[in-house]
Amino acid sequence: MKTRFTYIFLIVAIAFSIMGCKKDGPPPTGINVITPLSGEPGGDITFGGIFNDDYGLTQISIEYLDWSLSKTIDLSDEPLTYTLDFTFQVPTDASAGDHTIIITAYNNSEKMTEFTVVVSVSEPISYDAIYAVGGFMWWWGWDNVNLSYPMTQDENDPNWYEIDIPVWGGDFNTVKFLGQPGWEGDNWGLVSSSDPSMGMINGESSESIYLDDKGKNPAYYRVRFNPYEMTYTAEELIPDIPVQANMYIVGNGYPEYPNLDWNTTEAIPLQGNLDGYGEHIFGIYSLELSSDVSMKFIGQTDGWTPLDVGFEIGGELQTPLTWVKCVAGDGTADVKFKDQAGKYTVVYDHFLKRALIWQE
């Protein structure tokens, strides 16, 4: 009986001894825990702060189930101090408003402290229009940013915008993207033109994207840009049509061509391979327009066939027309210019079916 009692006493003593060896102390503390944070759907936020414990930290967790955020940082070396620096991408479908994230610090005495971080999410950014600007606009160059080319929104994926452009060597092969026809505001380009792998930035320090002209005159590209993800693609386009021998302007309202008035035999000839910039490019300088003008293109002077080229959007428009889409076919629309008399340059790219019309 005495022996049995001795064993029980020893077991209890060992248990108390083990419990006595376990560290005990206050819960962890935190300083400079950053709150509130501001973010936007699809953007990055960084959680930060300094956590301390007298005996050792074992774990930091960051939780917010609405965003499927469940991050656990195990601290096997049980530091007395830990500096948190964790970046997380706000979900693209995150609702606007305040969201409460819980950061929990644990120590080796099985005590914990919760810290609340409020993340204020702004309304999702949206863009009504995106423009392309660059050296490829050899007709007027960088200085006339107000004439940058509007890009077309992808109907199947509206986050993407695209445009087809020609490029040449000698700095006529650069492109950037704008959120407006001007430099003030969104201005997307590369972090470094010499290292495209560094990605893109939005700001006045952004640098040009260089497209390989491949020694062609010109090389053609379909350029696509996603402003939400700040990424772009460039796919070379190979002309798949025969070279058009001649192109003409037909319509009425041209003082130097009084007999035109929709008479195809009096159509105004365009210069082919305009200034040596490509066999599909036609144009004319200093064409005088009256205060009431109609305009289309044709490929011959003996009638409307086989080539009749109008505009995707016709009717009365204001100049300048910057890289507007043209359409080949019988009955296509003409454009009309009212009360805009003056000398104009007209450029037409037959491969891309695009036109530029501006007052000199």
pLDDT in tens, 163-176: 999 999 988 999 99
Do 273 and 201 belong to one domain? no
Question: Which pLDDT value is given to residue 5?
Answer: 41
Of 188, 208, 237, the one marking the end of a domain is 237
Question: Which pLDDT value is given to residue 159?
Answer: 95
Parent domain of 305? 248-359
- Tokens 């995150």 correspond to 94
pTM of structure: 0.73
Average per-residue pLDDT in the chain? 92
Question: Which pLDDT value is given to residue 42?
Answer: 85
Specify if 242 maps to a domain: no
Cα dihedral 137, 142, 146, 148 sign: positive
Do 323 and 233 belong to one domain? no
pLDDT in tens, 250-285: 999 999 999 999 999 999 999 999 999 999 999 999
Of 88, 121, 154, the one marking the end of a domain is 121
Question: Which pLDDT value is given to residue 126?
Answer: 87
Task: Report the C-alpha gap between 59 and 106 in whole angstroms.
Answer: 5
Do 223 and 325 belong to one domain? no
Specify if 7 maps to a domain: no
CATH of the domain at 90: 2.60.40.650
Contact predicate 302/360, CB 8 Å? no
End-to-end CA distance of the chain: 117
Residue type, 322: T
Do 34 and 81 belong to one domain? yes
Specify if 18 maps to a domain: no
Residue type, 330: D
Do 151 and 181 belong to one domain? yes
Question: Which pLDDT value is given to residue 342?
Answer: 98
Do 96 and 44 belong to one domain? yes
Specify if 320 maps to a domain: yes
Do 117 and 135 belong to one domain? no
Specify if 215 maps to a domain: yes
- Pair type for strands 315-316 and 335-338: parallel
Do 215 and 289 belong to one domain? no
CATH of the domain at 231: 2.60.40.3620
Do 105 and 169 belong to one domain? no
What residue ranges of the chain have pLDDT lower than 70?
Answer: 1-24
Task: Report the C-alpha gap between 223 and 208 in whole angstroms.
Answer: 13
Residue 196 has a CB neighbour count (10 Å cut-off) of 14
Question: Over the chain, what HEC string results?
Answer: CHHHHHHHHHHHHHHHHHHHHCCCCCCCEEECCCCCEEECCCCEEEEEEEEECCCCEEEEEEEEHHHCEEEEEECCCCCCEEEEEEEEECCCCCCCEEEEEEEEEEECCCCEEEEEEEEEECCCCCCCCCEEECCCCCCCCCCCHHHCEECEECCCCCCCEEEEEEECCCCCCEEEEECCCCCCCCEEEECCCCCHHHCEEECCCCECEECCCCCCCCEEEEEEEECCCCEEEEEEECCCCCCCCCCEEEEECCCCCCCCCCCHHHCEECEECHHHCCCCEEEEEEEEECCEEEEEEECCCCCCCCCEEEECCCEECCCCEEEEEEEECCCCECEEEECCCEEEEEEEECCCCEEEEEEC
Number of domains in the chain: 3
Task: Report the C-alpha gap between 212 and 209 in whole angstroms.
Answer: 10
How far is residue 346 from each of residues 21, 239, 292, 297, 357, measured CA to CA in Å? Answer: 90, 22, 17, 11, 5
Of 237, 263, 298, the one marking the end of a domain is 237
pLDDT in tens, 5-43: 444 444 444 444 434 444 567 999 988 899 999 998 888
Give the tokens for residue 4: 């049995």
Do 233 and 254 belong to one domain? no
Contact predicate 321/357, CB 8 Å? yes
Do 147 and 93 belong to one domain? no
Specify if 224 maps to a domain: yes
Phi, psi of 149 (to 5 degrees): -85, 130
Question: Which pLDDT value is given to residue 10?
Answer: 43
Task: Report the C-alpha gap between 326 and 344 in whole angstroms.
Answer: 18
Specify if 149 maps to a domain: yes
Question: Which pLDDT value is given to residue 23?
Answer: 57
- Tokens 């320090």 correspond to 205
Specify if 318 maps to a domain: yes
Do 256 and 228 belong to one domain? no
